[in-house]
Amino acid sequence: MLNACLLGCGGSIPLPERPLTALSLTTCGRSVLIDCGEGTQVQLRAYRRSLYDIETICLTHYHADHVAGLPGLLLSMGMCGRSEPVTLIGPEGLERTVAGLRVVAPELPFPLRLFTLKGELEEVDMEGYRIGAFAVNHRVPCYGYTLTIPRRGRFDAERARRLGIPLPYWRRLQQGENVEGFAPEDVLGPPRKGIKVCYCTDTRPCQAIVEQGKGADLMVLEGLYGAEDKAASAAQKMHMTMSEAVDLAAQAQPSMLWLTHFSVAMRDPAQYLPGLRQIFPHTVAGEAGMEVHFTFQDD
């Protein structure tokens, strides 16, 4: 139903052994990419993610390590034969940034649809999944993202029979269609838990992250440093330490937390896990190629 793959876990500088942070999300042959630094297209190939399928690219902000790979990716998507539109979502400055980078990718065989974020909290309905964007707190305008696959309520066959709804209408009502005066709400229970992923990097801790992480199957959060004596440096750079990220997860209670966007100076992020797991047990140190598959849970 939803496959998530962390394409890299580095921050600032792409290293041979640690590519830059980006997340690929695929549902039913349609993909969303969050962030696109230098080398992200190479990582997509390395983990056999389709470039052709990418229909939405969410950019947290316009620092090079999150966006410099965009023109190359768009060109490669064109070479893969994509002709359907691609939606780009990002903070103010999206048009200017895309126009600048497209100096090396002026011609594309598909249209770009730019969606510039302005509010604190915005939603983009992509028919089948929903992108949520929430403002966070970095040196420049920066957003975190959620991807949600909603799930309709359970079909009440007993009720459908009682209302005398003909059998051929059932499937269409179940899929959310109105049929001959009958509405889905007539036969569907309350919406059930869908699938939700929350991604957030390059920010100081803030309450919006907790709110948006609630109910998430996966949170992907920046943990720039692990050592406690780096807390002041993280704050000064408007970034987040591992323990700050874990504190947010402990409040939001997602099913799983992947830490990412590690400083070049931090050689072994996993060394901090024992302490972090005392605060939030389901904490994982991100690694390039880390993957998880989510399906709707049984009720």
Q: Is 11 in the site for a second copy (CB under 8 A)?
A: no
* Edge-to-edge strands, sheet with 112-116: 112-116, 86-90, 54-58, 30-34, 22-27, 2-8, 291-294
With binding defined as CB under 8 A, does residue 97 bind a second copy? yes
Closer to a second copy by Cβ: residue 106 or 164: 106
- CB neighbours of residue 245 within 10 Å: 30
Among 92, 96, 176, 228, binds a second copy (CB under 8 A): 96
Q: Which residue from 30, 105, 169, 237 is in contact with a second copy, where contact means CB under 8 A?
A: 105
**Does residue 81 belong to the site contacting a second copy (CB under 8 A)?**
no
**Catalytic-labelled residue, pool 65, 217, 298, 299:** 65
Q: Using CB under 8 A, which residues numbered 24 to 63 contact a second copy? A: 37-39, 41-43, 45-46, 62-63
78 φ, ψ (degrees, to nearest 5): -65, -40
**In terms of CB distance, is 70 or 248 closer to a second copy?**
70
Pick 159 or 267: Cβ nearer a second copy: 267
Residue choice 26, 60, 76, 260 for contact with a second copy (CB under 8 A):
76
Closest to a second copy by CB, 33 vs 101, is: 101
Active site residue 65: yes
Tell me the H-state helices in the chain.
40-46, 64-67, 70-79, 94-101, 157-162, 167-174, 184-187, 207-213, 231-236, 242-252, 273-279
In angstroms, give the least distance from the CB of 41 to a second copy: 7
Angle between helices 70-79 and 94-101 (to 10 degrees): 70
Rounded CA-CA distance 116/133 in Å is 11
Residues carrying an active site annotation: 65
